[in-house]
Amino acid sequence: MTNKNIEELFKQALEGHELPYDASAWESLNNKLNKNTPAQSPVKVWRWVLGSIAMLIICSLAIWKVAPNTSKKEIAKEIKQTSPVKTPALDVKKNSTKADPKQDNKNGIILPKQNENEIQQENNQTLKQKSNDALSDNTVRSNDEKEADGVVKSNQVAENLQNENVKMVFPTLTFNCVGDQTVISNSNSNELVLLSPSNITYTIPAESELPISIDEKGYYRIGTMTSKGEFSENAKQLVNESPVLDFVIEELNYLNGLPTLPLTVKSTESTFSLYINDQFVQSNTKKELEVYVFDKGSNKIMICSSNDLACKTTITKTISVENDYNLLAVNAFDPFSNDLRKSTFMPFALLKRGTPFTLIIIDPSDGGIVFSSSDASNAWDGNDKRNGKMVAPNKAFIWKVTISNPEQKEKQEYKGTIVRL
């Protein structure tokens, strides 16, 4: 037999069955319903009311903690609208402290009367609470704004610290004087900036070099540019004025038998140094001087002057010489000429210089010495001292002069050829 069959049996057995009517039971129930319910104690009622208010305050604080950005006034308003607890209406009479004998129609609760001072105190407390709530809302918003400002300032400080932590390597400025030539190297990944005394800006690109000519006196400063376009100085170098220097080259002449180059020097300093073709010649204090140029071609004349601040000025100029200096000797003579200058052979420079020398004439055929002299007034007249006869005409003979005391940078030996016409 299944469960379904059992249920059908019970249903069929109870169908149509009725319990007997008991009149005394209904009478007893009716008496209990009509019996008056005793009035509740006011103390117990206020206990429930105050408990409910406390519960509302606790809930409000909890919601304010969870949602700090929500206005407390809105939360309190929402709680007031949704709260099921209602405070009974009060019947206030001036200067009365006795309880009102009237009862609530529904609950039968007797409420005590309040005097005017108590009501005023409650109103003041309510207004004070609302003011505190509004002040709290403003405080929350102010704190949020301060917090946001703090984040911005914190980020700015962090950025500044990050920029400061980038270590820059600044080159040493080694120039000291106007006119110096230098190269400034930048090994950093950021560009550097050099400012002249007149605030001319020289940019040194990252990981590169900058050749520069120092042409101003005063302080040169090196540093970087900030994000605001302002110069941030790291170091500075004082540049001093260099001596004022110049010189004038006059025409080359041989008036004294030497290749003489007159110079006129203009300088703010009393002493200067002279170089010819990068070789030191002399130091001088004269403003008018003469230098000797012995080599054919381009010759470099350089004058340097220094002051007490160790600043030096160098001026270089170039002069071109067409012929080598060879004692101004001719290459032919005529023993039978009526002009004494052409009838004998003696290098012209030896007649003017007055320096000790030795002259010899060599026969290229056998290497024998045809003539020799150490006196500028004793010139060769074409006779061969070996046999006393005149040498053959139109034959080239070799001459050689040795200078005993040559000038500075002058060679000691000169040579050439001479032909008797």
At 169, the pLDDT band (50, 70, 90 cuts) reads very high
pTM of the model: 0.52
Among 395, 403, 400, which residue's Cα sits nearest to residue 416? 400
**What are the b/e assignments for 142-167, b being 16+ CB within 10 Å?**
eeeeeeeeeeeeeeeeeeeeeeeeee
Mean pLDDT, residues 64-89 taken together: 49
Nearest to 293 by CA among 259, 317, 327, 244: 259
Query: Is the model more confident about 80 or about 405?
Result: 405
Residue 327 DSSP SS3 = coil
What is the distance between the alpha carbons of residues 257 and 166, in angstroms, rounded to a whole number? 71
SS3 20: coil
Say which range, 1-15, 163-177, 361-375, has the weakest mean pLDDT.
1-15
Contact 399, 359 (CB under 8 A): yes
Q: Average pLDDT in the 216-237 region?
A: 94
Q: Does the pLDDT of residue 93 top 60, yes or no?
A: no
Distance of alpha carbon 263 from alpha carbon 293, whole angstroms:
12
Cα–Cα distance, 265 to 308 (Å, whole number): 19
Torsion over CA: 273, 274, 277, 280 (sign): negative
| Cβ atoms 350, 325 nearer than 8 A | no
Domains observed in the chain = 42-139 (no CATH), 181-239 (no CATH), 245-321 (2.60.40), 332-420 (no CATH)
- Dump pLDDT digits (tens) for 13-31: 666 656 666 667 667 776 7
